[in-house]
Amino acid sequence: MHEFHVPNARIAWAFSDEAGHPVVQLHGLTSSRSHDRLLNLDLGRALSGTRLLRYDARGHGHSTGRPVPEDYLWPALADDLLRLLDYWFPGEQVHGVGPSMGTGTLLHAAVRQPERFSGFTLMLPPTAWQTRPAQAESYRRTAEGIEALGLQEYFARGPESPRPPAAADNPQVLPHVAEELLPSIYRGAALSDLPSAAQLARVAVPTTILAWTGDPGHPLSTAQALAGILPHAELQVAATPQQVADWPQLLARDVARRAG
């Protein structure tokens, strides 16, 4: 397994080198490269002629971590991302793609180093700003439940979350995270939020925002707000699995535009 060392963690990665434009692909909270493929969120599968870096965030998938909530704050994950970009693509502009926590990580990196990015394809922006406190409280309760019952028992007892219409065909999966790390990862997410509107308004990076309907954890309100705040953003909303199936081609379009 390929690993990249960052402070207090080792990052598992995969790199596909077809000698083209650099692309980095992230994933969402408690997911991983392999889980995003199961959930039809691996948009990089449609890319060709690029240099594609995919990696598991610290504590997720095959990456390591420690049970410290502050390690999983989105600005801390942005530190890891920028270290990876400095190693793999020094001095180059990179196209970034990722859902939910991946979107948060990319935007925190962008407000610090917007010049590192040629474009973004942001998927399923998470709760943010006014909608974040309720989600944060839900994450804290989940962390406590896992500590009290264990991962398997907690998710076996809990009600199955309603699926958005566009994800109706997706399988239910458990978190791809070691049980001893999972409460800290949820608490780190509870302490995280997107950058402020004033910060994001200075990120003049061409951006496509991909959202879907009927998902309180990834509300349209965040996607619509980002589309209005980011200077060069367009929003596309999916209501069916067939529309989500088009997202890999939208990523390929975005990357071709930036490479051109």
Distance (Å, whole) CA 212 – CA 209: 10
Bridge partner list, 22: 51
pLDDT of residue 134: 97
Nearest-10 crossing angle of helices 182-190, 132-149 = 160
Q: Quote the pLDDT of residue 259.
A: 80
Domains of the chain, CATH where assigned: 3-259 (3.40.50.1820)
> How far apart, in whole angstroms, are the C-alpha atoms of residue 118 and residue 133?
32
pLDDT at 160: 67
Residue 87 token pair:
């190693």
62 within 8 A of 90, measured Cβ to Cβ: no
Query: Quick check: 106 and 120 in contact, CB under 8 A?
Result: yes
In the block, residue with structure tokens 């020094």: 90
pTM above 0.85, yes or no: yes
pLDDT tens per residue across all 260 residues of the chain? 689 999 999 999 999 999 899 999 999 999 999 999 999 999 999 899 999 999 999 999 999 999 999 999 999 999 999 999 999 999 999 999 999 999 999 999 999 999 999 999 999 999 999 999 999 999 999 999 999 999 999 999 876 677 899 999 899 899 999 999 999 999 999 999 999 999 999 999 999 999 999 999 999 999 999 999 999 999 999 999 999 999 999 999 999 998 86
